[in-house]
Amino acid sequence: MYVIAGVSGNTGSVVAHALLEQGQKVRVLVRDVSKGDAWKARGAEVAVGSIDDEVALAKAFEGALGAYLLLPPDPGASDFIAQRLASANTMARAVSASRLPHFVFLSSIGGQHSAGTGIIESSHNAERVLGATSAKATFVRAAYFLENWGMVLGAAAQAKLPTFLPPDPPIPMVATKDIGLLAAKSLLAPPAGNSQIFELSGPRDYTSRDIGAVLASLYGRPVEVDAAPVEAVVPAFTSFGISPNVAALYRGLYAGIAKGVVAFDGRGHQVRGTTDAEAVLRGLGAGKR
């Protein structure tokens, strides 16, 4: 049986679906019991608890062969790095207490660095803390989500593509579907040794111009890239209601991407998914009238 966190989200839902489709036993971890109903109807067990609740987590992990874990975003955090380190420590204690044999943790490109990556520092900390447990560890260092472009589809429909990404070089991007599929596969095949790292990107890397070109073809008219400097990140993100602390960490992320720090280091298994930008953007509704 496999425990899956984040089942109402992008990647966890794919992991749970993929395992259920293969006839595997699944226990979904939800904070709100009603979010487990649809999974129960599909034959999954439901465990209720937060990643910040050690007792509930350890109970959810009991008897499991593996668990899919992630550190969910929290746009309102006042000290995101400290809060996510506390969550990672809680998860680690629950992993040890329950003697969970293996987990797959959703980390990030750039997760090898302790600094210079902004919000990704939380993934680095989690790798360190979870990697020190007795469980076998699979870290999926995922590229920039193609789904991130969903936030600017409204502007793209008006022929502009706002972005804080540098115009060049192309950077790795990946569909959350491919993350979920790799995570499901990895749960069924734990590493022979103590740990393994996957560096996961999509079928090709993209510049923001490439994404603009895909959107132009979906909307049937030109879409112009509107690149803003990293200095504009904090005012823009706080204007969307994101806390100043988290906004500053996003500025650090975009600065790290521009400096080439948020990159794969080649020490993990390099994997490319099969879902391209067009499939993701079409799925997000780009081009629909």
Ligand X SMILES: NC(=O)c1ccc[n+]([C@@H]2O[C@H](COP(=O)([O-])OP(=O)(O)OC[C@H]3O[C@@H](n4cnc5c(N)ncnc54)[C@H](OP(=O)(O)O)[C@@H]3O)[C@@H](O)[C@H]2O)c1
| Binding status of residue 144 toward ligand X by CB under 6 A | yes
How near is the Cβ of 221 to ligand X at its closest, in Å?
27
3: three-class secondary structure by DSSP: strand
How near is the Cβ of 43 to ligand X at its closest, in Å?
19
25, 30, 96: which is closest to 58 by C-alpha?
A: 96
Closer by beta carbon to ligand X, 145 or else 237: 145
Q: Of the listed pieces 66-74, 199-207, 262-270, 280-288, which binds ligand X according to CB under 6 A?
A: 66-74
Specify whether the CB–CB gap between 146 and 202 falls below 8 A. Answer: yes
Distance (Å, whole) CA 133 – CA 154? 44
Q: What contacts 283, CB < 8 A, 6 or more positions away?
A: none
The neighbour count for residue 4, using CB atoms within 10 Å, is 35
Q: Which of residues 33-62 bind ligand X (CB under 6 A)?
A: 35, 50-52
What string marks each residue from 98 to 137 as x (binds ligand X by CB under 6 A) or -?
--------x-x--------------x--------------
Q: What contacts 252, CB < 8 A, 6 or more positions away?
A: 116, 117, 118, 119, 121
State how far the alpha carbon of 25 is from the alpha carbons of 9, 44, 177, in Å. 19, 7, 20
Distance (Å, whole) CA 55 – CA 126? 19
Q: Of the listed pieces 1-9, 156-164, 227-235, 259-267, which binds ligand X according to CB under 6 A?
A: 1-9
How near is the Cβ of 51 to ligand X at its closest, in Å?
4
How near is the Cβ of 87 to ligand X at its closest, in Å?
7
Q: Of the listed pieces 67-75, 92-100, 181-189, 222-230, which binds ligand X according to CB under 6 A?
A: 67-75
Question: Rule CB under 6 A: which residues touch ligand X?
Answer: 5-12, 31-32, 35, 50-52, 70-73, 106, 108, 123, 142, 144-145, 148, 176
